[in-house]
Structure 1
Amino acid sequence: MADPDPIRHASRTARGAADLELGEAAMDLLRSRLVDIAENTVTAIIAEVPGYTNALAGPMGAKIEGAVQLALGGFLRLASSGDPGTPLTPALEGAYILGRGEARSGRSMDALLAAYRVGARVSWRELSGTAVEVGLSAETLAKFAELVFAYIDELSAASVAGHTDELATSGQVRQRYLQALARSLLQGDSADQLADRAERADWEPPKTLTAVILPNAHVRGVLAALDPRTLRTEDELPGLEKEDVAVLLVPDAHGPARPALLRALRGRQAWVGPDKPWTTVRTSYERVLRTRDLGLVVETSTPVDTEHHLASLVVTSDPAALEDLRARVLAPFAKLRPATAERLIETLREWLLQLGRRDEVAAALHVHPQTVRYRMGQVRELFGDLLDDPRTVLDLTIALAAEPLR
Structure 2
Amino acid sequence: MADALRPQMTRATASIVRRVQDAVPEHAAADGTRRHRLFIAAARAAAQVFLDGAARRPEHAQQVDEIFRGLGYAQGRREGSRESMDAAMHAAMQCSWRYLADFAVDHDLSSAALRELADALFDFLAHLHRLLGEGFDLAQDARGRDPGAARVRLFRLLRGTADRSAPGHAHRLDERELRDLAELARWPLPARVVALAIGHDHDAPAIPPSPNLLIQAHPGHVLVVCPAEMHAPFVQQIMRSSSGPRIARSWPVTVVETGAALRWCQRALDLVRAGVIPPTPVIDCAEHATQLWLHAESSLRRHLCQQVLRPLLAEPANSRAILSETLLAWAETRESARALATRLGVHPQTVRYRWKRINELLGDSLRDPDVVLQMTLVLKASVPLWTKGDQSDFDLARVN
Normalising by structure 2, what TM-score? Answer: 0.48
Structure index of larger Rg: 1
Normalising by structure 1, what TM-score? Answer: 0.48
